[in-house]
Amino acid sequence: MNSWRMPLRAVSLLAALVCLASVTRSAADTQAAIIGILDSWSSRSDARKSVMELGSEGIAGLELIAREGEQSYLRRSRAVALLATIDSPSVINTLILITNDKDPVYRCFAIQALAEVKSTERTSVLIKKLDDRSVCMQMNATDPARTWPVYVADEAVRALESQTGLSFGKTSDGEHRLTKPWKDWWQQKASPERR
């Protein structure tokens, strides 16, 4: 009987390694498929349909690409845009994580995506971004010709306006959105008035 134990253990170990290799190859295949979908993007709805056909592995792969700083700008931005179309707790957590990305451009993309998803957590995340004065894009106007920076905070306010239907206007320079009224609104909402 002892003579069979070693070969059975070896066979079990070999079977486990083959299974692991299969799973790893499958994950790599899924990741390659997602990259192909993002690189050959024709529309967000077509890309979403293709990712959804890959199932939960496709969504997980999309989340990974959206978080990875080594991915190209185009891939990451498209991945974040697709995440906005998927209603899932893990997707919302990924978007919240990206709101803290070191690059303000991706913070704004994540905020824009959160504006689209339905989540009870998003309001508090957006409120936390009201002090983020990092520039995530430039706006241009032609008449009169001018350019101004868009802050992460501006995008957070825009998302809050979209979510709540409220607006507190822009600052005196006319370019940036007011943040203090949103902080006051959140404070009042968090602690009801005591009369």
Taking only the tens place, the pLDDT of each residue in 160-182 is: 998 889 988 776 566 788 899 99
* Domain range for 153: 115-195
Specify the length of the chain in residues: 195
Q: Of residues 191 and 34, which shows the higher confidence score?
A: 34
* pLDDT for 19 beyond 50: no
| Residue 107 belongs to a domain | no
By mean pLDDT, which of 9-13, 75-79, 189-193 is the weakest? 9-13
Q: Is the pLDDT of residue 22 over 50?
A: no
Structural domain includes residue 30: no
Q: Can you list the pairs that 20-27 forms with residues at least 24 positions away whose Cβ atoms lie under 8 Å?
A: 26/57, 27/57, 27/61
Q: Is residue 153 part of a domain?
A: yes
Output the average pLDDT for the chain. 85
Inside any domain, residue 140: yes
Torsion angle in degrees (nearest 10) through CA of 46, 47, 53, 55 = -150
pLDDT value of residue 174: 63
Query: In which residue are the tokens 């899924």 written?
Result: 30
Domain assignment of residue 76, yes or no: no
Domain count, the chain: 1
Q: Which residues have C-beta within 8 Å of that of residue 177, sequence separation ≥ 6?
A: 153, 154, 157, 158, 161, 168, 169, 170, 171
Residue 67 is assigned to a structural domain of this protein: no
> End-to-end alpha-carbon separation of the chain, Å?
83
Share of the chain above pLDDT 70, in %: 83
Asked if residue 164 belongs to a domain, the reply is: yes
Mean pLDDT of 115-128: 88
Flag whether 190 is in a domain.
yes
| pLDDT, average across residues 54-79 | 94
